[in-house]
Chain A
């Protein structure tokens, strides 16, 4: 293609992501977004005007070299595109799928002011998928340093930290409490949004290239305490995430049919409950599901519920039912990724905004039969900057539901703090750690990701893992003493 002028570039329309048909996909767990073709990717890449001071990079928590990889991509040099990508991001196939681009890179894209931003996330995914399939850019390892690091938790923070430390030549052992690595990427994010093959592809590759050892079934705080790890390793990184679910403090939460989004998603994703009885772990939803909350986890829960209902209906021959998302604020405050909201809407989720449950109602057998709710209105902005919901007096009503899934956020799992003297915690249960270096208040212990910030995004956890790896490496080389 001949070199285009800026004006010509800006005339090209943003390319849609090809998606699985909205009616077909309700009945399967296959990936919804199908990915760009090389042709589409290159055309989309032509839209980038190669800003001298790229704002997109500033919006990225790990500072991906966006203009560089996009330029290589539009020139058709995939190997170079992958190389530019991997300077800052080892897991582009994952980030391209799950990052909230609209508030990060794409939110900052200069084109957004006049129209639509460059589809940076989709291009990132394209480059990541190319690398997954072709492996043109092996992870190279520096000579062994003889230093040993324990990385606790194999989610986005832990994997990123482990990979960067492995590249520096340190011997890394990755501890995972569940039976397989991946953390929230595997137990939380569904197959139709992030296929497990992508996650395992990235992890296995890193393990192979860098000789990282993974120890599953190891619950730090129980199997080993932090202090025991410190006896064996030169440094410890905690990337244990925020796995502890919150339940509303309302009557009825122990009824049958009420579960945390964590339980529901773990049954579906990690344990493959949707394939029961081929897989042993059952999971079920009723005909009227209410998911409380409107974050990404809530979106995953409504969309998994729709699919389960469709699969159950295929077997029983009955109609599938309905899925509600119950949120106390309005559409404008929905914290989920825009694409997920859009997909959920297409798939037929019913949104009950400005609605808050007061009580879950049960029948004589202890099963959920409904929820008593109250309507809300928006008042003044609260600490988070969002307008705070206020109950409308006298607006109580009953909603008929048989399944309630609570997606109200999570906090760090306290187990890792067991017998870990000196590891300071905030009143929210998060570890106290320096934002730049990840250093905690306990010598030789670093932390990053949700265990420090509370539930946040995959990419911010990866950024924290990366920063900590840099500091750990400097510490181990004697460049930055504790």
Chain B
């Protein structure tokens, strides 16, 4: 069992947790992920590592409550224990001094882009970061990102904070700017955002790395559920990734595969909300 050490509410639907998992923390690196299972009935949920503390043996995860499992996880509190916590999985990010690089984090993708930006900064890169979300309430870690970036651009879709635009707009301006000489781009966020970042950088031939979060069970190369089509054939996100060359990803197939269990996911959420409502009513009645 793995104890939750700390919990922070970053927005209504975005939560941060620090989990006691020394076996993962001792080697965790930027770009890798873990698999968490809440309880005996739980599914195995892949989450990218947002931060790690080797001395304390702790891993930070950040998740958005999008389905039954993440909603249930969001209700847990420090002191509660998780059934499984495996990792670190996947390849770490290739950290080198590339020159000027851009880190794009969209929504909950801000969490995993943070340790990458920090590592790239430490390696001597000039780091320009772009973070974005639908609205202000979904943004988090602005100051943390600013601290590891030479320049930070904040956008929201509705203009409630920062610039009113999608993350691809300022990205295109940076790519256009000949003086900037952007050597590489990292982008983590919703699949559709990563697709458009990929489309934006392609005409400029700037190498672009995305971190994919696909359907996955074991996370060790066993199920193949996470396979993604590249121009060279199918690869597994869990063992070959999770980072891939964005320009080689078949985005159509990726987006379609993410939809496969949508009906089941919806059903699980309905049942969970119903259960919470009932429990709430019982608690009310008991007062």
- Residues on A close to B: CB < 8 A? 177-179, 187, 215-219, 222-224, 243-245, 247, 249, 253-254, 256-257, 259-260, 262-263, 266-267, 270-272, 276-282, 284, 365-366, 413-415
Q: Of all chain A residues, which has the CB nearest B270?
A: A277
Number of A-B contacts (CB under 8 A): 128
Check B259–A267 contact: CB distance below 8 A.
no
Least Cβ–Cβ distance between A405 and chain B, in angstroms: 11
Which of B37, B83, B225 is within 8 Å of A263, CB to CB? B225
The 3 closest A-B pairs by CB, nearest first: A366-B256, A282-B264, A263-B223
Given contacts A263-B223, A280-B268, A281-B43, contact A179 B37 (CB under 8 A): yes
In the complex, are the beta carbons of A276 and B264 less than 8 A apart? yes
Contact in complex: A245, B222 (CB < 8 Å): yes
A298–chain B nearest beta-carbon distance, Å: 16
With A222-B87, A223-B86 in contact, is A244–B260 under 8 Å at CB?
A: no
State in angstroms the CA–CA spacing of A178 and B44 once bound together: 10
- Contact (Cβ within 8 A) B88 A217: no
B219 contacts across to A, CB distance below 8 A:
219
| B227 engages A247 (CB within 8 Å) | yes
Does B250 reach chain A (CB closer than 8 Å)?
yes
Is B221 located at the chain interface by the 8 A CB criterion? yes
Q: Are A179 and B86 in contact (CB under 8 A)?
A: yes
CB atoms of B239 and A414 under 8 A apart: yes
- Do A414 and B221 contact each other (CB < 8 Å), given the known contacts A223-B23, A280-B68? yes
* A253 B234 Cβ-Cβ under 8 A: yes
Q: Is B97 an interface residue (CB 8 A)?
A: no
Within 8 A of A (CB), among B206-262: 217-225, 227-229, 233-234, 239, 250, 252-253, 256-257, 259-261
Contacts of B259 in A (CB 8 A): 256
Residues of B near A282 (CB, < 8 A) are 261, 264-265, 268
Cβ of A362 to closest chain B Cβ, rounded Å: 9
Using A223-B86, A244-B221 as known contacts, list a sample of 12 further A-B pairs with CB atoms less than 8 Å apart, ordered by residue number in A: A179-B86, A216-B84, A217-B84, A219-B220, A222-B87, A243-B222, A249-B233, A254-B253, A260-B223, A271-B217, A365-B256, A415-B239
Contact partner of A247 (CB less than 8 A), chosen from B42, B228, B234, B261, is: B234
Residues of B bordering A, CB below 8 Å:
23-24, 27, 37, 41-44, 68-69, 83-89, 217-225, 227-229, 233-234, 239, 250, 252-253, 256-257, 259-261, 264-265, 267-268, 271
Residues A254 and B223 in contact, CB atoms below 8 Å apart: no
**Contacts A277-B271, A281-B217 given; does A217 touch B224 at CB 8 Å:** no
A227 → chain B closest CB, angstroms: 13
Supply 16 A–B pairs (Cβ within 8 Å), ascending by A: A178-B220, A179-B37, A179-B86, A219-B89, A219-B220, A243-B221, A245-B222, A247-B234, A260-B223, A260-B225, A263-B223, A266-B222, A282-B264, A282-B268, A284-B264, A366-B256
A280 touches B43 (CB 8 A): yes
In contact, B224 and A259 (Cβ under 8 angstroms):
yes
A271 CA to B40 CA, complexed, in Å:
9
Rounded to whole Å, the gap between the CB of A153 and the closest CB of chain B is 11
Nearest-Cβ distance from residue B35 to partner chain A, whole angstroms? 8
Q: Which of A218, A260, A277, A279 contacts B224 (CB 8 A)?
A: A260
Residues on A with beta carbons closer than 8 Å to the beta carbon of B87: 217, 219, 222-223
Which of A177, A215, A247, A276 is close to B220, meaning CB atoms less than 8 Å apart?
A177
CB distance from A263 to the nearest CB of B (A): 4
B86 touches A254 (CB 8 A): no
A223 and B84 alpha carbons, distance in the complex (Å): 14
- Residues A179 and B44 in contact in the complex (CB < 8 Å), given A219-B87, A222-B89, A247-B227: yes
Q: Shortest beta-carbon distance, A25 to chain B, in Å?
A: 25
Q: How far is the CA of A271 from the CA of B265 in the complex (A)?
A: 15
A256 vs B84: C-alpha distance when bound (angstroms): 28
Name which of A262, A272, A365 has the most chain B CB atoms within 10 A of its CB: A262
A267 to B43, CA, bound (A): 9
Residue of A nearest to B2 (CB): A217
Whether B224 and A245, one on each chain, are in contact in the complex, defined by CB atoms closer than 8 angstroms, is yes
Q: Is the CB of A262 within 8 A of B224?
A: yes
Contact with B86, one of A219, A281, A284 (Cβ below 8 angstroms): A219
B222 proximity list for chain A (CB < 8 A)? 187, 243-245, 262, 266, 413
> Does the CB pair B83–A271 fall under 8 Å?
no
CB pair B268–A256 under 8 Å, yes or no, is no
What are the residues of chain A within 8 A of B88 when measuring CB–CB? 222-223
Chain B nearest CB, measured from A118 CB (Å) = 38
* Distance between Cα atoms of A213 and B134 in the complex (Å): 48
The residue on B at minimum CB distance from A263 is B223
> What's the Cα separation between A245 and B222 when bound, in Å?
6
Question: What's the Cα separation between A243 and B223 when bound, in Å?
Answer: 8
